[in-house]
Structure 1
Amino acid sequence: MYNNNSNKKQGTVVFKRFGRKGYSLFSVLGREVLISVLSVATLQHASAGSVSMKPVSADTIATKTDREMTLNEVSVTGSRAPLTRAQAARMVTVLERADIQAAPVQSVNDLLKYAASVDVRQRGPIGAQTDISIRGGNYEQITILLNGINICDPQTGHNAFDFPVDISEIERIEVLEGPAGRVYGTSSLLGAINIVTRPHSSTSASAHIEGGSYGYLSAGARANVACGKWNNQLSGSYTRSDGYSRNKNGGLNADYSGGKAFYQGSYDDTDIYVNWHAGLSAKGYGSNTFYGAKWDDQYEHTLKTYTALQAETKRGRFHLKPSIYWNHSEDRFELFRDAPNTYPFNYHRTDIFGVNLNGYFDWILGRTAVGAELRNEDLLSGNLGEPLDNPHHISGTDRYYDHGINRTNVSFVVEHNILLHRFTLSAGLVAVKNSWNGMNMKVYPGVDASYRIGNAWKIFASYNTSLRMPSVTELYYSVGGHVADKNLKPEEVSAIEGGLKYSINGVTAQASVYHNNWKNMIDWIRYTSDGADAPWQSVNFTEVKATGFGAQLNLNFRQLLPTQSLLKSWNTSYNYLFQEKDIAADVQSKYSLEYLRHKLVSNLQLNLWSRLDLGVNFRWQDRRGTFTDFDGEVKSFTPYSIVDARLSWTAPKYKLYLEANNIFDKTYVDYGCVPQPGTWFIAGMTVEL
């Protein structure tokens, strides 16, 4: 289901226009070139709508050649400067729009379950709350981006996936595995996930509605107006569910209700490309036992807004790409739903302002990129941070934000890329200084290299480093059986990776080995020898080492067996991870020592008849670690396997579909003792106007 965009098969290329780069010719060596128009998913450094790429138009999912490729437009996210996919030294995994449309999912959270290297620890369905990590890390150790803009919340990573855009409007999802400090800056300790939205190129509109088990209902609409150099699109959606479980008193405790609205626009001429977005996500959900098995009627409400303005120059030797953004979020947690007198609600508000300037230029020794970012994080809270001299009123209540923290992060990046015929070397560093806790400027280097062997093989290797600042929750959350340490040190990691990729004639295979070495890793631990009421403490582990292996195989049957029509594609991938840390036997970890030892995912796409398609998804995973059940007993996680499916009928102006999740009604948990839903059926339709 996942496609690696950095080295696709050497197939037919359709010519659109001449590239202005001297290296454009290498993109078509050994290929057949046709005079027509195709489309391919493209990537660029931390950018969703860059000047140098056009959005994918995935009208069909028949063949990989139904893409658009311009010789100078194919660039990837694995480096600071845009490089052609043939030149890219680092592998980037891309989930394309066709894959998103074919998946039996309702949220980005669910979608990422089908990536072998991604650990999705779900507390609630429909994207209610999910902790997502990469390669054995935790949910705080990756950077989440919306159209290339960092939307991570310094309060906590629990609600990082509150996207303001409906999944039907997502163009692609880019996953960069491993430390990405010089590409995405701080917080990208073990990788990054970039959600790229889909602006339509022509005036159009669409609507969708779906419903199913547990009182589930979702509806949304989109309208786009394109006029010359201007493009404006507005979309919105609403989703609700009664939930799949009840509390001890018989009331709802996994219910969900939320809405999203998203506006994006752009201006494009021969000199400059400018794009902007503004989005809102508001939701409330029953969080049953999310934050403690003792209380089964918890509730949480979040409100988030996102705004950003980005640009890129298109003429001249030096290309500039500035951006400015503001992210705002509000969170209300209720340990006892609608009962503030029983236990006061927790209120938090964060405002994040950022501005960055990136640029690159070509010269005789290759391509050089430079960049700088200023990011200010301001948090107001009822219980997190330092006491405030001037408390702020909490809207709609008689209470005040009387705690808070403000910190500013400054980073500078320089990277140079040596581009030869078959060899690429990309090396650089990021220098970081944060105002929190008197942190001094620190430098984190990285280097990636790749070599293409013939038209089918590619070997690659990398060494990268990065860091992450502690979240405010890790620093100050000392309530409800938790004891935080406000003197935590930043996490640091160094990682090496090497691998081999093969891609030709409908077959793509890849294998890699990686090793991560954490320093000052942050985790919540408790000493089980102190009894069931032992507090959870935020601590810096001195060192944790992890070694992993990943492999994937993708078969495109439309190319391998062109005379048949039943089989479309089959993809399978596997990830193995082993972590080592010398700790006492009575230490229980929430995150660092709970990780996926094994994860296997597979996807089969079939065309049953005419426009009728069937997709079947399978995943099996085995988690290491322990959790405390409702009776206070420490238990180990149990391996489980899940099968999902989607049946769809696709016509030019409409689509009908039926989805089934957890078909065999397996009982399982991803986190603690929060049981996940059994079999869940959904039926829906989409109409294009």
Structure 2
Amino acid sequence: MQKKTLLLIISWSLGGLMAQAQDSTLNPVTVSASLSQQRASETGRNITIIPGDRFNKLPVHSLDDLLRYVPGVEIQARGPMGSQSDIVLRGGTFQQVLVILDGMRLNDPNTGHFNSYIPIAPAEIERIEVLKGASSAIYGADAVGGVVYIVTKTFAARMGQKSTKVTAGAKAGQYGLWGADAGVVYSNNRLHLAGGVLRNQADGVQQRGTTGYFNNTTASVSANYWLSPSWRIAYRFAYDTRDFAAQNYYTTFLSDTAGEKVTSRWHQVHIGYEKNRASFSVDGAFKSVTDGYAFNKLSAANSSVSKLFQWRLLYGYRFSKHSNLAGGVNFLEKKIASNDRGHHNLYQVSPFVSLTQKLWEGFTMRPSLQWVYFENITAELVPQLDLSQQAGDWQLRGSVGKTIRDADFTERYNNYNKALVTSGRVGNPDLRAERSLSYEVGGDWFRKEKLKVSATFFQRFHQRLIDYSTTAYADMPRKTNLSPTGTYALAKNVAEVNTTGFETDAQYIHDFGQGHKLTAGAGLVWLSSSSSDSTPSFYISSHAKFLTNFSLIYEYGDLLVSVTGLYKQRQEQQAAAINAALSRDYFLMNAKVQYGFFHNMLAVYAQVDNMFDRQYSDLLGTPMPGSWFMGGVQLRWKR
């Protein structure tokens, strides 16, 4: 109890220092909630927005590292520095968070474990918007717990901007760590170019009885050209590869000494028109992911290639300053070719419409509706209503909506194509799409341009939740390639899961002038989930019951000091076969000290991750590193 009290004090002291009218830094324009530009406070939703430059200021190494310290976000990491992480919002499963890059969805049709492999170099990111709660009426399937929406500098650029910015960095540290990042952003009236690379690798991280490794690289380039003041075209290509030791990432077997390599290629195109009150855009993207996984040196490797084709037509019209309409249609085609899961494909079409209407001063409502048609699966009609009312320094908000999620190819066909399966997780082709009803009520308090405090109560009533549950051989629906003596976890629709939670977060920004600035944020989440299934399903028992995370950046002249931390409580778990356990809780803190030269064009820094050397795991059997010391240099130039 003393530890929890201490964490509460730390979190709120970082988020709520000296409170002094609402400004665009704490209440910025967002696109994630309504597909059109709108102040965050008017959306009726709890949205946290992280500027892209936060990446190089905080002690983080990858985008999942950065998200780990965003208020309300739980990251369940299997390995360090982008090896593999699951993104969890409001107690959902890791497949129930939708990740979007400049309007195009990134969620992989093979497995949600790949959703944190975001193919964009940090140098290209303008901002990250985290929209918490039901969003299927806007974005369709998978947006159950929320949406992580990434906006990049190139695709967000406006005509007339002129600037050049170059960044580069290198680091080295314990466990054979070395890494590098670089980026360039160029704008000249009509033409906007950007590109970057991020590299992390190490070979000394200890796993159970062996030494782990990771070699992770992300590179991306993009261009945006304004053909006229009304028309523009943009294109991006990205390459991402993660090569890592994956021992016990997916099993708790003693014989598991797995290794895995996941390589992604991403193409994206945008054609946009905007004039007077109307806007129109055509967006397309193609994603190809190659996954090679070997359970151990004696087993045959699983090899899968998944592909995602998608198009979106979006039309917007502003009737007046009080009324705005957005509508369009999404088209998806998902494919997989796998020696483990077989060859499958699925189409999805979903028209949608959303109206933003201000009825009186300070009051905004937004009804939205999407019809999602799955090939060979029952279509779903998905409505939602968001409300917001300003009252002085307060913004009161509420939302109610339906959400849906269809099974990925792993949930449907895992171990389906093998000759003999003696144990492990087994897919189920007969899974039905999840559906749930969610509602939330909350408010935001703004205090004199420096402080924003938010609080939200929410509930989600889930039907047919898809999760793995231990199932006896006699009860398996398909026994063709199963052993009668095997132990299996079957993917199935859990009858009912209800989640209740409360989240509160604070952001504090104080620019004292003359290079003296403090930026802090903190969040607290309490969660409770109950299931009608007699045997608790795997992921429902894995999410945090209590979570607080925080970050702080202090800048004074040439000096920068930053801290990130989190405290998590969850259900204890044991795996006797591999002598592994999940503790009831853990506290983690990282720190970075940086000093700049030549007006901060060149900077050197020292950093320590897990500064208290806490032994912990987010998922059973996957220990994370202890204290990790490193240092590096950063170069910044702009004109």
Report the TM-score when normalising by structure 2: 0.87
> Which residue does 2:230 correspond to in 1?
271
> Which residue does 1:679 correspond to in 2?
627
For 2:382 and 2:368, locate their aligned partners in 1 and report how far apart those are by CA, in whole Å: 9
Equivalent residues of 1:332, 1:348 under 8 A apart: yes
The Cα shift of 1:526 comes to 1.3
For 1:566 and 1:310, locate their aligned partners in 2 and report how far apart those are by CA, in whole Å: 39
Letter of the structure 1 residue corresponding to residue 525 of structure 2:
N
For 2:111 and 2:153, locate their aligned partners in 1 and report how far apart those are by CA, in whole Å: 28
The Cα shift of 1:41 comes to 9.2
> Which residue does 1:516 correspond to in 2?
460
Distance 1:643 1:156, change over 3 A: same
> Which residue does 1:463 correspond to in 2?
400
Deviation by residue 1:510-542 (Cα, 9 ceiling, x = unmatched) = 111000111100111116999996311111111
**DSSP 3-state at the match of 2:114:** coil
Report the TM-score when normalising by structure 1: 0.81
Letter of the structure 2 residue corresponding to residue 258 of structure 1:
N
Q: CA RMSD, aligned part only?
A: 2.8
Letter of the structure 1 residue corresponding to residue 280 of structure 2:
L
Distance 1:605 1:532, change over 3 A: farther
Letter of the structure 1 residue corresponding to residue 594 of structure 2:
S
2:378 is the alignment partner of 1:440: yes
Letter of the structure 1 residue corresponding to residue 595 of structure 2:
W
The Cα shift of 1:149 comes to 1.3
> Which residue does 2:530 correspond to in 1?
580
Deviation by residue 1:277-299 (Cα, 9 ceiling, x = unmatched) = 11001221111221223234210
Deviation by residue 1:448-497 (Cα, 9 ceiling, x = unmatched) = 0000002x111000001111110110011134522221100111111110
2:367 is the alignment partner of 1:427: yes
For 1:281 and 1:376, locate their aligned partners in 2 and report how far apart those are by CA, in whole Å: 21
Equivalent residues of 1:42, 1:76 under 8 A apart: no
The Cα shift of 1:614 comes to 1.3
Aligned residue among 173, 178, 196 for 1:212: 173
For 2:347 and 2:394, locate their aligned partners in 1 and report how far apart those are by CA, in whole Å: 44
For 1:532 and 1:166, locate their aligned partners in 2 and report how far apart those are by CA, in whole Å: 48
> Which residue does 1:416 correspond to in 2?
355
Equivalent residues of 1:326, 1:351 under 8 A apart: yes
Distance 1:319 1:601, change over 3 A: same
Question: Relative CO higher for 1 or 2, CA cutoff 8 Å, sep ≥ 6?
Answer: 2
The Cα shift of 1:221 comes to 2.7
Deviation by residue 1:646-668 (Cα, 9 ceiling, x = unmatched) = 11124431222222111010111
Distance 1:653 1:376, change over 3 A: same
Aligned residue among 657, 665, 673 for 2:613: 665
Aligned residue among 21, 44, 48 for 1:10: 21
**DSSP 3-state at the match of 1:595:** coil
Deviation by residue 1:331-377 (Cα, 9 ceiling, x = unmatched) = 000111xx3xx211100001111111011112267222111011111
> Which residue does 2:306 correspond to in 1?
350
Deviation by residue 1:8-63 (Cα, 9 ceiling, x = unmatched) = 993578xxxxxxxxxxxxxxxxxxxxxxxxxx6997xxxxxxxxxxxxxxxxxxxx
Moved more, 157-166 or 354-363: 157-166
The Cα shift of 1:97 comes to 2.7
2:294 is the alignment partner of 1:334: yes
Letter of the structure 2 residue corresponding to residue 556 of structure 1:
I
For 2:41 and 2:427, locate their aligned partners in 1 and report how far apart those are by CA, in whole Å: 47
> Which residue does 1:605 correspond to in 2?
553
For 1:174 and 1:85, locate their aligned partners in 2 and report how far apart those are by CA, in whole Å: 10
Distance 1:625 1:522, change over 3 A: farther
Distance 1:366 1:569, change over 3 A: closer
Letter of the structure 2 residue corresponding to residue 497 of structure 1:
E
Letter of the structure 2 residue corresponding to residue 507 of structure 1:
L
> Which residue does 1:407 correspond to in 2?
346
Structure 1 segments of 4 or more deviating over 4 A?
1-4, 40-43, 527-533, 562-567
2:167 is the alignment partner of 1:221: no
For 1:234 and 1:346, locate their aligned partners in 2 and report how far apart those are by CA, in whole Å: 33
The Cα shift of 1:86 comes to 5.5
2:573 is the alignment partner of 1:614: no
Q: How many residues align?
A: 595
2:382 is the alignment partner of 1:382: no
For 1:80 and 1:198, locate their aligned partners in 2 and report how far apart those are by CA, in whole Å: 18
Q: Write the mapping of 1:72-471 to structure 2, written as runs, cut at 5 A.
A: 74-85=29-40, 87-199=42-154, 201-246=162-207, 248=209, 250=210, 252=211, 254-268=212-226, 269-293=228-252, 294-336=254-296, 339=297, 342-363=298-319, 366-384=323-341, 403-419=342-358, 420-435=360-375, 438-454=376-392, 456-471=393-408
> Which residue does 2:539 correspond to in 1?
591
> Which residue does 1:496 correspond to in 2?
439
For 2:565 and 2:542, locate their aligned partners in 1 and report how far apart those are by CA, in whole Å: 22
For 2:335 and 2:532, locate their aligned partners in 1 and report how far apart those are by CA, in whole Å: 37
More strand by share: 2
> Which residue does 1:547 correspond to in 2?
500
> Which residue does 1:556 correspond to in 2?
509
**DSSP 3-state at the match of 2:550:** strand
Distance 1:544 1:247, change over 3 A: closer
Equivalent residues of 1:41, 1:96 under 8 A apart: no
**DSSP 3-state at the match of 1:674:** coil
**DSSP 3-state at the match of 1:100:** helix
Gaps of 5+ in 1: 14-39, 44-73, 385-402
Gaps of 5+ in 2: 1-10, 416-420, 475-483
Distance 1:312 1:84, change over 3 A: farther
Equivalent residues of 1:432, 1:441 under 8 A apart: yes
> Which residue does 2:5 correspond to in 1?
none
Distance 1:629 1:166, change over 3 A: farther
**DSSP 3-state at the match of 2:118:** coil
Identity %: 21
Equivalent residues of 1:629, 1:672 under 8 A apart: no
